[in-house]
Amino acid sequence: MDENLKKMISDAGQEHLLCYIDELSAEEKRVFIEQLAAVDWQQIPQLAADYVLKRPEISIPADLTPAQFFPLTPADSATAELYAAADAKGAELLRAGKVCCLTVAGGQGTRLGFDGPKGTYPIGPVTDRSLFAYFAGAIARASEKYGKTVCWYIMTSPINRAATEAFFKEKNYFGLPQESVFFFTQGTMPAFGTDGKLLLSSKGTLALSPDGHGGTLLALRKSGALDKMIADGCEYISYFQVDNPLVPVVSPRFIGLHALENSEMSAIMLSKTNSKEKLGNFCVSNGRTMIIEYSDLPDELAEKRNADGTLAFVAGSPAIHVLSRKFVEKLTSGGTLRLPWHRADKKIACLNENGELFTPSEPNGVKLESFIFDALPLAEKVMILEGDRAEVFAPTKNATGVDSAESCREMLTARNARQLKLAGVDIPYTADGKVDAVIEIDPAKVLDDEDAAALVERTGLKKVEPGERIVL
Ligand code: UTP
């Protein structure tokens, strides 16, 4: 092993990682050394000191104010005109092929407890179609509707890349042109034990974890995705998470407003249902937009009210963005980008002191992640648009309960029911106002209300029966 590397590891106080190296085969040793060489050893002691051995202190700026946003429904005629112009601009950009989709799918989905990439999770309320199939269908329909192929960039982690690609192959790319789907892999960070020592997942493997969705920006550059966007003339990136099948994969109004407002990074906001709702809060300090996590917003700010009784810090983030490609180019121009790290205490399977693999039942280590929303303060201009929760946000974080697969399926049915009702179909409801049926609409057929009306017209559907399970 190279003496230089050995010294860097030892200077970083991590020489314990090498204690089994002589037990490895030549090939195992080669792979391990390659892994070790990829670590930035100089920053490890600082990271351990700042994030692991002590809890990073969150400093809330004294001048923090709520961020301004464009409301869901225009309050005056000038805003109504702006929205109409944005709708037209967004559609024009889509027709010109200047918009792509980006799904971040590199997470580990530990809360869902599903074995496999989260995007392969069966979420369709009737057919079990996967999360990826939802996005693929919607992207296919958007491409058809605007007459230009919308390219789809999918970020995986090194851990789930192969399984994700295999799923797409098995599904024949859901009928999308294969060259319009671009997979890229995010970076990783070594995991720490609570004593600041890095963990091994085998005698010749570091315990690595994906570096957070903030890793998207640099990964876009390193993977050649940005180059492809430049070559394709794509200027706007419609960003969403793999666990939200309700998201409009491209929203003409959102994209159009982003462009008309010369925004570098835009965001959808949802009005929080209560002061403690677990959504990041859109705030402004020193003229810069930022997100303060729900757990970090001091109570007196979280509870602060406007004169009309509404929450002052009302804007919560569902992690739906539009980014200008040029902004991503600018941020990553030197081939590096340092976003702040966030600490997560996790259960990390690793070797114990006897060199045996153990799976802890309690958090035993620290993972460091960066977050995409930390790019907001780096943007010269940020545009925030209010979204309708029932139309845009059904996160699948847990297996049951709040933000679960169960609640997501209900919301998909509810949205489909609303679209059908709007098109004149008779929908059954229970006494407590829930849809008394399970309805699944093929996203490749219906992108918006206009498509839903056309579908109803084509099929001649008049009524959904109570208790029916229907696929359209
Ligand atoms: P979450 O924060 O919900 O994390 O990710 P997760 O890993 O999927 O789930 P848990 O916390 O382990 O239960 C939000 C979105 O960001 C992506 C996820 O795939 C999801 O779309 N993500 C997260 C990445 O792409 N990479 C990461 O390193 C982390």
CA of 106 relative to ligand 1 center, distance in Å? 6
pLDDT at 110: 85
Q: How far is the CA of 88 from the centre of ligand 1 (A)?
A: 33
How far does the centroid of ligand 1 lie from the alpha carbon of residue 372, in Å?
11
pLDDT at 207 over 90: yes
- pLDDT per position as a tens digit, 22-31: 999 999 999 9
- Residue 34 identity (one-letter amino acid): E
**147, pLDDT greater than 90:** yes
Residue 205 has pLDDT above 90, yes or no: yes
Query: Which residue's CA is the nearest one to ligand 1's atom 7?
Result: 107
Residue 106 Cα: closest atom of ligand 1: 25
Backbone dihedral region for residue 35 (phi beyond 0: left; psi -120 to 50: alpha; all else: beta): alpha
pLDDT at 376: 98
Q: Which residue has the tokens 């989260």?
A: 118
Q: How high is the pLDDT of residue 56?
A: 85
Distance (Å) from CA 213 to ligand 1 centroid: 7
Q: How many angstroms does the Cα of residue 104 sit away from the middle of ligand 1?
A: 8
Average pLDDT, the chain: 97
Q: Are 130 and 122 in contact (CB under 8 A)?
A: yes
Q: Among 115, 121, 161, 213, name the best residue to mutate to test ligand 1's pocket (greatest count of ligand atoms within 8 A of Cβ).
A: 213
Q: Which atom of ligand 1 is nearest to the CA of 111?
A: 13
Residue of the nearest CA to atom 18 in ligand 1? 107
> In the predicted model, is pLDDT for residue 284 greater than 90?
yes
Strand (E) positions, 92-206?
Answer: 99-104, 152-156, 181-185, 188-190, 192-193, 200-202, 205-206
Confidence of residue 72 (pLDDT cuts 50, 70, 90): very high
H helix runs in 48-190, sequence order: 77-95, 131-146, 161-170
For the segment 259-283, what is each residue's pLDDT rounded down to a tens digit?
999 999 999 999 999 999 999 999 9
pTM of the model: 0.96
* pLDDT, average across residues 294-317: 96
Q: Give the ligand 1 atom nearest the CA of 119.
A: 19
Answer yes or no: are the C-beta atoms of 188 and 368 closer than 8 Å: no
User: Cα 175 vs. chain centroid, distance in angstroms?
Assistant: 24
For ligand 1, the distance from its centroid to the CA atom of residue 76, given in whole angstroms, is 38
Cα of 210 vs centre of ligand 1, distance in Å, is 9
At residue 179, the pLDDT reads 97
Q: What is the mean pLDDT of residues 423-435?
A: 97
Q: Which atom of ligand 1 is nearest to the CA of 157?
A: 26
CA-210 nearest atom, ligand 1: 28
Q: What is the pLDDT of residues 169-196, one digit of tens each?
A: 999 999 999 999 999 999 999 999 999 9
Listed in order, strand segments (DSSP E) in 321-389 are 321-324, 342-346, 350-351, 357-358, 365-369, 382-386
What residues line ligand 1, using a CB cutoff of 6 Å?
104-111, 118, 155, 186, 210-213, 215, 241-243, 369, 397
Q: Is the pLDDT of residue 289 over 90?
A: yes
pLDDT in tens, 375-400: 999 999 999 999 999 999 999 999 99
CA of 467 to the centre of ligand 1 (A): 35
Nearest CA to ligand 1 atom 25: 106
Q: Which residues contact 307 (CB under 8 A, 6 or more apart)?
A: none
